[in-house]
Amino acid sequence: MISPALVPVLGDPAQPVQPAVTTDVDARAGSQAPLPCLIMVDWDVRRRFEQYQTAQKLATGHEPTNAVVIRRAFLHAKRNDLFAQLRETARHQQHPVSEEDLDPDGLFGDVPARREQRGRVKSRTQQSFRPSGRELAVYDAYSNGYTFDNRSDFLNAVLDAFLPQLPASPKRAAR
């Protein structure tokens, strides 16, 4: 499900593109120039991100940029049609459901903005990358199309699905 706003960016040949008043956002969407961007990712995803880059450098002699890793993760999710599944997983992580919370009659409905736990909400860190305007428009269109709360949550889920798990740390022998 691609947002209709993305069709002019992708250049759907079935429908002619209507000329529109260009804003800064529209101009950037067609741009192939890299733009600075920050997203928030889980600590674990950030460590796996670095591990992936290191493993690629050891295997190929070249370390992929942050934007390339994110692009690969997005393409992996698209090829395997994972976006709906990622959205459900992200939703349940944000609002875990326990047996005590089940409301089969729908008396209370869903309260998406309600926090389920006290204390720190997310343990996240910044991840910078430099996508093109077109890449950013695609990420945002898919993020909105699959109703993620924001770009960071979307790309965090995409990266989490793509990046290999860290190897288990060796267990210490009891002395």
By the 8 A CB rule, do 143 and 150 touch?
yes
| pLDDT above 60 (res 19) | no
* Residue reference for tokens 């409905």: 109
Q: Quick one: average pLDDT of 1-10?
A: 50
DSSP 117: S
φ, ψ dihedrals at 37, nearest 5°: -150, 145
- How far is CA 80 from each of CA 14, 119, 134, 145, 158, rounded to the nearest angstrom? 25, 36, 22, 17, 11
- What's residue 167's pLDDT? 85
Spatial distance between the Cα atoms of 35 and 25, rounded to a whole number of angstroms: 12
Question: Residue ranges per domain, the chain?
Answer: 36-94+123-165
- Positive or negative CA dihedral for 136, 140, 145, 151? positive
Q: Quick one: average pLDDT of 49-66?
A: 97
DSSP 104: T
Spatial distance between the Cα atoms of 168 and 171, rounded to a whole number of angstroms: 9
Instruction: Please report which confidence band the pLDDT of residue 61 belongs to, taking 50, 70 and 90 as the band edges.
Output: very high
Give strand ranges (E) for the chain: 37-42, 124-129
Q: What share of the chain has pLDDT > 90, as a percent?
A: 53
| pLDDT above 50 (res 62) | yes
- What's residue 17's pLDDT? 35
- What's residue 94's pLDDT? 61
Q: For residue 161, how many other CB atoms are within 10 A of its CB?
A: 17
**Least-confidence region, from 7-11, 21-25, 49-53, 79-83:** 21-25
How many residues appear in the chain?
A: 175
The pTM of this model reads: 0.68
| pLDDT above 80 (res 161) | yes
**pLDDT per position as a tens digit, 75-84:** 999 999 999 9
**pLDDT per position as a tens digit, 100-146:** 767 778 777 766 555 555 555 567 899 999 999 999 999 999 999 99
Integer-rounded Cα radius of gyration of the chain: 19
What's the angle, vertex CA 164, arms to CA 68 and CA 44, rounded to 5?
90
Burial class (CB in 10 A: 0-12, 13-18, 19+), 135: buried
